[in-house]
Amino acid sequence: MRDAFSRCHPVVNFTYFTAVLLFSMFFMHPVFLGISLAASMVYAIWLNGGRAIRFQFLYMLPMLLLVALINPAFNHEGMTILVYVNDNPITLESIVYGVASAVMFVSVVIWFSCYNAVMTSDKFIYLFGRVIPALSLILSMVLRFVPKFKAQARVISNAQKCIGRDVSNGNLWTRARNGVKILSILVTWALENAIETADSMRSRGYGLKGRTSFSHYRFGQRDKLLLTTLGLLIFCVLAGALLQENSIQYFPYIKINAATARSVLVYTAYFLLCMLPVGLNIWEEWTWRRLYSKL
Amino acid sequence: MASLIFEALSFAYPQAQRRALNEVSLTIGNGEFAVLCGRSGCGKSTLLRHCKTVLTPHGRRKGRVLFGGVPLDKVSFRDQSEKIGFVLQNPDNQIVTDKVWHELAFGLESLGMDQKTIRLRVAEMASFFGIQKWFMKNVSELSGGQKQLLNLASIMAMQPELLILDEPTSQLDPIAASEFLETVKKINRELGTTVLLTEHRLEEAFPMADRVIVMEEGAVIADGEPSTVGDMLKEASHDLFCAMPAAMQIYAQVDGPAPCPLTVRDGRRFLSSLWPENPPAFRRIAVPEAEGNGSAAVEIKEAWFRYEKDGADVVKGLNLAIPEGCFYAIVGGNGTGKTTTIHLMSGILRPYRGKIRLFGKEIQKYRDNELFTNLLGVLPQNPQALFVKKTVRLDLLEMLSREKGSKEEKEKRILEAARQVDMEGLLERHPYDLSGGEQQRAALAKVLLLKPRILLMDEPTKGLDNAFKDKLAGILNRLKAGGTTIVMVSHDIEFCARYAGRCAMFFDGSVVTEDTPNRFFSGNSFYTTSANRMSRHLFENAVTVEDVITLCRQNQNQAANA
């Protein structure tokens, strides 16, 4: 993967996504929403390329419009009445609120798509393994068994098909019965084979006291730096939140704090926080080019 | 110094009359490479499992096992985990975690080592075994051979003194198997690890071994250097010989100079020494008529197949005609499309171009019911995919559940199917309690109840020892005599050479050449039986061990008469 942020330590990844997701969910201030949406889109495109653009236009744009339209249709609060539809008032406030919550919703979805691309299963396992060591092994085993079961289910289904007893043979009732039978074979097979897995585990000393958990991640100098930066930025944004820099009132009328120098500072902090992975990528690209041109 | 000592070890499983191990006394020296062989069920695995307390089965036991001079039950669990490595048969079941690197570290994590040590050990092992390239992969992406190599590596990471392997290559194809055995040899030679191995593939294991131990019915019947064991068995004219390497089998049946040859090279020299001056008089063996000249039971015309739209073609313009009543074997390397072809013939997959006809009618035109009753029988590679009931009898009865007919009638048909596969005595057993070969025969009985006219089999000899293979061949021959067409995909060249009616070689998605086994294998120079490779400088068309032996005797008799 060409994403530099994905190569950072899982703790950095996880801290970043937790912060960004929570902030995106709870800050309804238009500036914050705009920053979050823009940053999420840029990062998603960086990570997934054309696929992300297609996803955003095909699914996210219609969803955004839908959520933005649904709210004024059902929510009639607000002072500024624009028009009456079937005796129901459509208010400016509810339209604005609809757009805002649509943006919030869409940016959270896009953030999650980025999260999925960056936080692979082994990173997740590693993080939770540090909290609960036994859990990390269980998760890893589950991830091992799911593809194994799927493959075996296919083998069994093919074998049963060849004696005319698959879920694709016969009428509905027979199909259901065949399906249950395949499941029963799969379970028997799994239990039988688990005995050998247990042997393999015990013969490699599973159950000894003081089991450790190995990972190939290293917390380097850059991770330290990134985590500190993240901490500072999060602190700034939270401080801004305490000082009401992000608060907005939608009903019955829209009330928003005037932008001051201090609020610009908070906006900047939030922007930097959201753009951190993209910034890191740009910086890496730039150093690479510089080194390369010198050669 | 002795690494492992068995002192008059006897063992019986609970409720079993017969002892699984009978007064076994053995001493395995440090750094020795010992191969343990014998029929299925002779107690090899039971003996191996006694080398590690956590794997030891329950039952009545006498005698004791010493590891490094200390009784095994006095050696702590930690020491046993670290110093005795155990590789089991099935590559898939031994893998615990989802990533290659995690699997390598598993044992070291159990031992409670710190990050730094684990990192070093894992790096060492990955380099030694050449795993770096797939180090970060998911284990589900690996081939069977790679999986077994990973199992070995993850055990070697713990740096054991003793390595025990229980038929580690039985589920692998020949190329992966010899690669695996080479690695075991490398471990023994370069690290000095003591190796105790059980194997069916003696052709390759014998030349590596310092020592061969032969077991029968729970007792050791021969023990010594490979060639000495050959002589011992020859004197006893023991029927276990059919499991020995081809060179040893020929040596046992033909009068000639000692020592007993082990490899193809030795066998070649041995045969050459029989006729030092003139070449032998008889150079050709009489070959039976080519079988199956009837109409085609299975006909494939210009079939093309790929799994994904954008993927590579797996089957490419395949043309194949399998005559009715023929035992047809398809051989060839891994990933050439053999198994896919079987799936095409069974209708599980459909070609995107070309036609497949069964008895002249296109396969798509058959209804499911017609296709899988009285027409097509498919024996899956893993027989466990068929078993649904508690006993073999109930399982067979289940196959008839949709048919009309009285209970007695069905009972009769079950008994007949069981007789066809020599399983009458095992009807009340649980299918999972049967050995590999028996499970396969039970599955075959199930398939036979549908009275197939064409029987398709994918690697039926995988993991079977020679006695079971012979038994399977007997059953197949009977079926063939009854008019069933048999199509088999196999890696087992020796089996195909001996029993098949026709052989086809698969390469790159289609059949390269096709002939009777005799002409097929005597025409190939690498992809052929070891008996043929051993004798091709003397005989023109000796393919099986029996061929070579017959020709040798003919020539020797003639020389004696002259």
The reply to whether B452 and B337 lie within a common domain is yes
The reply to whether B431 and B479 lie within a common domain is yes
What is the mean pLDDT of the segment spanning A278-285?
A: 92
Query: Terminal CA-to-CA distance of chain A, rounded, Å?
Result: 24
pTM: 0.85
What is the mean pLDDT of the segment spanning B422-442?
A: 88
More confident residue, A295 or B46: B46
More confident residue, B278 or A59: A59
Residue B467 has a pLDDT of 82
d(CA B163, CA B4): 11
In a domain, B355, yes or no: no
In chain B, residues with a C-beta closer than 8 Å to the C-beta of A143 are: 98
In chain A, residues with a C-beta closer than 8 Å to the C-beta of B447 are: 163
Q: Do B115 and A148 touch (CB under 8 A)?
A: no
In chain B, residues with a C-beta closer than 8 Å to the C-beta of A197 are: 93-96
User: Which residue, B213, B244, B275, sits at the end of a domain?
Assistant: B244
pLDDT at B393 over 80: yes
Residue B304 has a pLDDT of 95
In a domain, B312, yes or no: no
Residue B300 has a pLDDT of 93
The reply to whether B231 and B169 lie within a common domain is yes
How many A/B residue pairs have CB atoms within 8 Å?
A: 164
- Each residue's pLDDT tens digit, B33-42: 999 988 888 8
The reply to whether B423 and B494 lie within a common domain is yes
Nearest CA to B385 among A273, A151, A70?
A151
As for how many domains chain B has, the answer is 3
User: Which neighbouring-strand residues pair with B2?
Assistant: B29
The reply to whether B398 and B256 lie within a common domain is no
Q: 10 Å Cβ neighbour count for A91?
A: 22
In a domain, B299, yes or no: no
What is the mean pLDDT of the segment spanning B257-266?
A: 86
Closest Cβ opposite residue B368 in set A169, A196, A215:
A169
Closest Cβ opposite residue B88 in set A199, A206, A212:
A199
What is the mean pLDDT of the segment spanning B13-18?
A: 86
Q: Which of B49, B79, B98 to mutate to test the interface with A (most CBs of A within 10 A)?
A: B98
pLDDT at A266 over 90: yes
d(CA B436, CA B465): 10
In a domain, B297, yes or no: no
Q: 10 Å Cβ neighbour count for B311?
A: 8
User: Which residue, B193, B209, B244, sits at the end of a domain?
Assistant: B244
- Each residue's pLDDT tens digit, A220-255: 999 999 999 999 999 999 999 998 888 888 888 888
- Each residue's pLDDT tens digit, B315-370: 999 999 999 989 999 998 888 889 899 999 998 899 999 999 999 889 988 887 78
In chain A, residues with a C-beta closer than 8 Å to the C-beta of B381 are: 155
In a domain, B483, yes or no: yes
Asked if A277 and A119 touch (Cβ cutoff 8 Å), the reply is no
Q: Which amino acid is at A230?
A: L
What is the mean pLDDT of the segment spanning B68-82?
A: 93
pLDDT at A1 over 70: no
Q: In percent, how much of chain B has pLDDT > 70?
A: 99
The reply to whether B408 and B446 lie within a common domain is yes
Q: Do A143 and B98 touch (CB under 8 A)?
A: yes
pLDDT at A164 over 90: no
The reply to whether B274 and B369 lie within a common domain is no
The reply to whether B505 and B516 lie within a common domain is yes
Angle among Cα B492, B184, B213 to the nearest 5 degrees reads 75
Q: Which residue of A has its CA nearest to B446?
A: A163
In a domain, B116, yes or no: yes
What is the mean pLDDT of the segment spanning A16-20?
A: 95
What is the mean pLDDT of the segment spanning B516-534?
A: 89
Residue B523 has a pLDDT of 86
Q: What share of chain A is helix, strand, coil (3-state, %, to 5)?
A: 75, 5, 20
Q: In percent, how much of chain A has pLDDT > 70?
A: 99
Pairing state between β B162-166 and B194-198: parallel
Q: Do B96 and A209 touch (CB under 8 A)?
A: no
In a domain, B131, yes or no: yes
In chain B, residues with a C-beta closer than 8 Å to the C-beta of A185 are: 384-388
Residue B2 has a pLDDT of 67
What is the mean pLDDT of the segment spanning A102-121?
A: 91
d(CA B461, CA B173): 11
The reply to whether B417 and B503 lie within a common domain is yes
Q: How far is B89 from chain A (nearest CA, A)?
A: 9
d(CA A120, CA A155): 28
pLDDT at B291 over 70: no
Q: How far is A183 from chain B (nearest CA, A)?
A: 10
Whole-number Cα distances in Å, B206 to A155, A282, B127, B168, B263: 35, 61, 27, 15, 8
Q: Do A162 and B139 touch (CB under 8 A)?
A: no
Q: In percent, how much of chain B has pLDDT > 90?
A: 51
pLDDT at A191 over 60: yes
d(CA B511, CA B504): 6
Q: Do A200 and B343 touch (CB under 8 A)?
A: no
Residue B1 has a pLDDT of 55
User: Which neighbouring-strand residues pair with B513?
Assistant: B505
Range of the domain at B464: 323-350+363-529
The reply to whether B546 and B445 lie within a common domain is no
Q: Which residue of A has its CA nearest to B157?
A: A204
A294 pLDDT band (50/70/90 cuts)? low
Residue B292 has a pLDDT of 58
Q: 10 Å Cβ neighbour count for B288?
A: 8
The reply to whether B213 and B338 lie within a common domain is no
Whether a cis peptide bond, with omega within 30° of 0, leads into B259 is yes
B11-15 long-range contacts, Cβ below 8 Å, gap at least 24? Answer: B11/B46, B11/B50, B11/B57, B11/B59, B11/B60, B11/B61, B11/B62, B11/B218, B12/B59, B12/B60, B13/B57, B13/B58, B13/B59, B14/B58, B14/B59, B14/B60
Report the complex ipTM: 0.86
Q: Do B380 and A215 touch (CB under 8 A)?
A: no
Lowest mean pLDDT among B198-207, B285-294, B449-458: B285-294
- CATH number, domain with residue B337: 3.40.50.300
Report which listed range, A206-210, B147-151, B557-561, is most confident: B147-151
The reply to whether B85 and B140 lie within a common domain is yes
Residue A295 has a pLDDT of 59
In a domain, B508, yes or no: yes
Please state, rounded to an integer, the average pLDDT across all residues of chain A: 89
B293 pLDDT band (50/70/90 cuts)? low
Q: 10 Å Cβ neighbour count for A266?
A: 23
- Each residue's pLDDT tens digit, B297-308: 999 999 999 998
d(CA B93, CA B168): 12
Q: Considering only CA atoms, give the Rg of chain A.
A: 26
